Amino acid sequence: MKRIIASLLSIVMLMGLLCSCGGKSQGLTEEERNIIVIWHDKEEAVAEALLTELQNSLPEVDIRLEYKSNLTEALKMVGNDPKAAPDLYFFAHDKIGVYAEMGILEPITELIAKEKLENACVGITLDAASYKGEIYQLPIYFETLLFMYNRLYMADEKVPETTEELYAYMEEKTHGGHYGFVEQHSTAYYSAGWIHGFGGYIMNGEGKPGLNMPETMAAMEYHKKFVELMPGESEYATVNTLFQEGKAHSTIGGPWLVSASRAAGMDLGIAPMPVIDESGIPVSPYMGVQGVQVLKYAAENKTDTVKKVLDALMQPEVGIVLAKVSGCAPAVKACYEAEEVISDDVVMAMRETAENTIPMPNCPEMDIMWTVAADMLVNINMSGQDVKESCEAAQKKAEELIDKMQ
Amino acid sequence: MKPLKTKKKNTILFSYLWSMPSLLLICLIVIFPIIYTGYISLTNMNVYHWFTYDLIGLKNYREALLVFDSGFIPALLLTILWTVVNMVLQLVIAYVLASLLNTKGLRLRNLYRTLLVFPWAMPGYVSILLWKTGMFNSQFGLLNQWMEKLGFSPIKWLAGDGIAFICCTVVNLWLALPFMITIIDGALQSVDQSFYESALLDGAGWIERTVYITIPSIRPIIAPSVIITIFTTFKQFDVIYLMTQQAGAKTGAHIHTILTYAYENAFITNNYGYSSAVSIVIFVILIIFSYVINRKPKEEV
């Protein structure tokens, strides 16, 4: 008897195991078509504002906003699996190339007429959202790095206009645990501004690395003397804490730093990027466009609902609300008619600065460059290795790794 | 004779049937991924052929072996050094602490035990980053605050290779000791006290008792745990990566184990075929390593 029960139980368990691995029948019900899952990696305030706006304008659609801390990796794993993948995701434009090549993204122009997009959005955001001639993203807002200073130490008229003035200020003020200026000097995203200011690039739009260009090397050589007057650690937490605690007088940071600093009671000033004396070009950081991408499966099977959501996202109200909570510049032109946007100095500074910046490359090769360029920066800035040798070695490594992507 | 044979056959059959669910589960979560990785390593699955990949034979292996270039040998040597240093320190410190826990007449024994096991309760990721920012950060870290109070100039704890290696070892010890202490503590309690009594009568000192009684008695009990720990130390990725190489927070130290080296030279390419080939090669290295390590205890048995 015992044996029979045991056999039965093990058979049942086996069946259970096998069944749970089984597939689901095809076709969506009306109810399922009405559910839109959106993955994002934004701060809670931004997500909450976005959800409220969408629920207000589309009460009939079941919007599910899900936070994913490792969104990019998760999408690579499940992007093609309708059961696990989201319908839309809200992220920066720089991963478009990877997912477009993988074949999981629907060009956004299949869902919104191209003219409508071109009329509605700021031009530079659509350039950033294009990969190989197709637009894959509905831009919501764009962001870049800003020059920020603490008015407690740096008066408005003392704000350096050129990098040499900045250096003089740093020399004068950096002592006793205080720093004249701090930045994440050995991170590719932050250093790109200096490289662009010399006319170099980490990677151009065609996916060609430019680490050994004479311009890039000149930027690295020039930037070194600034690094010497900054703390050894260059990671996010250290740099931001130094600035927020009033130990660093100025910094280059993203919009997320604005609200945090103001909440901490700082009298924060925002100024244009200093101009590099040697080249006459300001420090020109990368620009990122945050927006919504649509996955192929959702575009094909939930077409009407997705269109409704995209339409709702293009309403100026969404851009205005999100600009306010994120401190970024809205991508929809009509937002700039609203008083609350025009009067917001951060948003307007962002738009002004961003229009003169360079969109992050969105080709798949860029994935490699973040690591390779950061290694090069660490070698030059922190390990004191020779600029030319490090740049040549990094370029060679980048080319090798790009070769291995195929 | 015949019915006995069928009965034996039946027993075997049934035992397989009863263990089938767990065997199947093991196959699904252990064996299948290895075989699948092996299969992917023979394809050209990458960003450009994500869902439409084809079998391309051993091309990936040809390229994977190129990863094991001039930089790989130092990484392998460092991995071995890392494993040896960590294991020796772990065993010695855990043994001393476990012996102290077993001192006769010790008060609050259970409190110490709980405290010593505490690092285990925290997720490794959190502990490592806490150590990195709380202790070693050159601006805000506790160590540099002390240095400053004592009148020394601050040190960049994670910027040099040697010093970063020591810091990573300290963190790894902190993470790994609870397990070792628990195991040795348990093993010590299982040693028959009468051995010590007769040794004492014969006039044996502490060293003799340790070398001739304690260590031989606990060795078979702790051996499996030591082997498991050697493996986790050998394939350690997160301590070294998070402490010195995390994206956006590199510290300037260039300590690479085979896994961090493979990560920087293969996995960031998004070429899964190629990365799988590298993984399989590392897997083979681990198998060889385990064979070498496992051989000795078996001979002794």
- Dist CA B101 CA A209 (whole Å): 59
**Total domain count, chain A:** 2
Chain B interface test: which of A94, A132, A233 (most B C-beta within 10 Å)? A233
Domain ranges of chain B: 74-255
A233/B251 touch (CB, cutoff 8 Å), yes or no: yes
Residue A19 pLDDT: 62
Distance from CA of A335 to the nearest CA of B (A): 33
Q: Does residue A149 sit in the same domain as residue A73?
A: no
Using CB atoms within 10 A of its CB, is residue A205 exposed (0-12), middle (13-18) or buried (19+)? Answer: middle
Per-residue pLDDT of A23-72, as tens digits, reads 444 577 888 888 999 999 988 888 999 999 999 999 999 999 999 988 98
Task: Please check whether residues A40 and A102 belong to one and the same domain.
Answer: yes
Q: Which residues contact B12 (CB under 8 A, 6 or more apart)?
A: none
The answer on A398 and A260 residing in a single domain is yes
Average pLDDT, chain B: 86
If asked whether residues A100 and A129 sit together in one domain, one would say yes
pTM of the model: 0.84
- Give which of B18, B20, B268 to mutate to test A binding, by max A Cβ within 10 Å: B268
Instruction: Count A/B contacts: CB-CB distance under 8 Å.
Output: 109
Q: Which residues of A touch B52 (CB under 8 A)?
A: 103
**Superfamily per CATH, domain B74-255:** MetI-like (1.10.3720.10)
Give the integer Cα–Cα distance in Å for A365 and A405. 8
Is there a contact between A274 and A165 (Cβ–Cβ < 8 Å)?
A: yes
Neighbours of A145 (CB within 10 A): 28
Nearest residue, CB atoms, A233 vs list B17, B63, B138: B138
Burial class of residue B200 in the structure, from the number of CB atoms within 10 Å of its CB (0-12 exposed, 13-18 middle, 19+ buried): exposed
Q: What is the mean pLDDT of residues A237-258?
A: 91
Q: Can you tell me the mean pLDDT for A359-373?
A: 92
pLDDT(B1) > 80: no
Q: Is the pLDDT of residue B221 over 50?
A: yes
Containing structural domain, residue A220: 145-285+362-405
Judged against a pLDDT cut of 50, whether residue B299 lies above it is answered with: no
- Indicate if A255 and A386 belong to the same structural domain: yes
Mean pLDDT computed over B147-174? 91
pLDDT > 50? residue B301: no
Helix, strand or coil, per DSSP, at residue A402: helix
What residues in A contact B21, CB-CB < 8 Å?
Answer: 10, 13-14, 17
Residue A8 inside a domain? The answer is no
State how far residue A333 is from chain B, nearest Cα, in angstroms.
33
Q: Confirm whether A4 is domain-assigned.
A: no
Long-range contacts of A336-345, Cβ-Cβ distance < 8 Å, separation of 24 or more: A345/A270
- Whether A327 and A339 share a structural domain: yes
Same domain, A130 and A273: no
The tokens for A283 are 């420090």
Question: Which residue on chain B is closest to A190 by alpha carbon?
Answer: B248
Nearest CA in chain B to A5: B18
Same-domain pairing of A171 and A295 = no
Q: Which residues in chain A are contacts of B254 at CB distance < 8 A?
A: 383
Q: Do A103 and B271 touch (CB under 8 A)?
A: no
Q: What is the mean pLDDT of residues A181-195?
A: 93
pLDDT at A20: 58
Of B133, B140, B269, the CB nearest to A368: B269
CATH number, domain of A182, equals 3.40.190.10
Kindly report, residue by residue over B39-90, the tens digit of the pLDDT. 999 999 888 888 888 888 888 888 888 766 767 888 888 999 999 999 999 9
Backbone angles phi, psi at A138, to 5 degrees: -95, 105
Q: Which residue of chain B has the CA closest to A239?
A: B139
Per the CB < 8 Å rule, is A101 touching B14? no
Q: How far is CA A178 from CA A250, A269, B127, B235, in A?
A: 11, 18, 29, 41
**Do both A116 and A155 map to the same domain?**
no
My answer on whether A134 and A230 are in the same domain is no
Q: pLDDT tens-digit profile of A337-357?
A: 998 898 888 888 888 887 678
Nearest CA of chain B to the CA of A47: how many Å? 24
Are A102 and B51 a contacting pair at CB < 8 A? yes
ipTM: 0.80
Q: Are residues A103 and A119 in the same domain?
A: yes
Q: Over the stretch A205-214, which tens digit does the pLDDT of each residue have?
A: 888 999 999 9
Contact criterion met (CB < 8 Å) for A241 and B140: yes
